[in-house]
Homo-oligomer: A and B are copies of this chain.
Amino acid sequence: MTITQLKYVLAVAEHQNFTKAAQKTFVTQPTLSMQIQKLEDQLEVLIFDRSKKPIELTEIGKKIVNQAKNIVDEANRIQDIVDQQKGFIGGEFRLGIIPTVMPTLLPMFLKAFTNKYPKVHLKIEELNTDDIIQKMADGHLDAAIAATPLKLDFIKERALYYEPFVGYVPETHRLFPKKAIDVKDLNINDILLLEDGHCFRDGVINLCNASKGSYEDSFQLESGSFETLVKLSDEGLGMTLLPYMHTFDLQKEQKKNLHHFNEPTPAREVSIIYPKSELKIQIIDALYQVVSGIVRGAIAFQDVKIISPITK
């Protein structure tokens, strides 16, 4: 049994397909066929049920895959241990960021981080929360920045900051006269929402105490960006809610439409999340320090009520 064989098993298990797995592991398909057969011969057990299309893991194959993940993780950790001992912070680091955080947060910390840790090769991907979880489970992400709490048993969370929700209320809206708005004032049916898949959308739905879909009877406009939502709002199609940091780059004119919430302000918790295995924890620590340090200056502390980013 070799670590390489175990990696091949993991690749085939993930893609349920020898050919695709071969491409991902940068070898040819016969390599996988032969090495996996060899392992199966040694263990005297079938890992894959090749009669099923697409290919499936056998019962015992599932257990082997779990254990193989352990082993590959623990093997990767050796380089980690060496790096840590040397005080070396570098290498490839795959970071996922949710779309509603990406445009505001990334410019704030990216330059500072790459300056401080020039040897880290960041591979940043914009992904929504579900994709982040999936990729992290498959070992394709070292960490991610997402709204929390997610309460997943294989993921650890470390809060970076709490970002208040801010109301964007156009002059024509019934709430415009109110200086500060209250959660009770909200009506899910006149709030413009991001399109499905964004956890911020789910957060707003939770905030309004609505269940997913309860508002769907009435016609709703939805979009993938806050920029569009604000424009639609300006057109009088309803109010919307923005994460605090998204209000920074509104035009002077538009800022007049911002209505803050009374305390405790509803807010989302934005965290750096990473697998419990804690691989590359040094880089995760470094990233945490840089980001939380930078954001500390941007968001004043206030009494905050965390809104869950998940709907059931």
CB nearest to A88 among chain B residues? B44
Please classify how large the interface on chain A is, using the bins under 10, 10 to 19, 20 to 34, 35 or more. Answer: 20 to 34
> Is A85 touching B71 in the complex (CB atoms < 8 A)?
no
Q: Which B residues are CB-close (under 8 A) to A67?
A: 74, 77-78, 81
Q: Find the residue from A74, A77, A78, A82 having the highest chain B CB count within 10 A.
A: A78
The 0/1 profile, CB within 8 Å of B marked 1, for residues 246-287 of chain A is 000000000000000000000000000000000000000000
Stretch of A57-65, A159-167, A179-187 at the chain-chain interface: A57-65
In the bound assembly, the distance between CA atoms of A2 and B6 in angstroms comes to 11
CB nearest to A80 among chain B residues? B67
Query: Given A45-B86, A63-B85, are A2 and B2 neighbors across the interface (CB < 8 Å)?
Result: yes
**CB-contact partner of A64 in B1, B2, B44, B82, under 8 A:** B82
> Is A82 touching B1 in the complex (CB atoms < 8 A)?
no
Tell me whether chain A's interface is mostly helix, strand or loop, or mixed. helix
Q: Which B residues are CB-close (under 8 A) to A45?
A: 82, 85-86
**Chain A residues with a Cβ under 8 A of chain B:** 1-4, 43-45, 59-60, 63-64, 67-68, 70-71, 74-75, 77-79, 81-82, 85-86
Top 7 A-B pairs, shortest CB-CB distance: A60-B85, A71-B74, A43-B82, A45-B82, A63-B81, A70-B74, A67-B78
Q: List 28 A-B contacts (CB under 8 A).
A: A1-B3, A1-B75, A1-B78, A2-B3, A3-B3, A43-B78, A43-B79, A43-B82, A44-B82, A45-B82, A45-B85, A59-B85, A60-B81, A60-B82, A60-B85, A60-B86, A63-B85, A64-B78, A64-B81, A67-B74, A67-B77, A67-B78, A67-B81, A68-B78, A71-B71, A71-B74, A71-B75, A71-B78
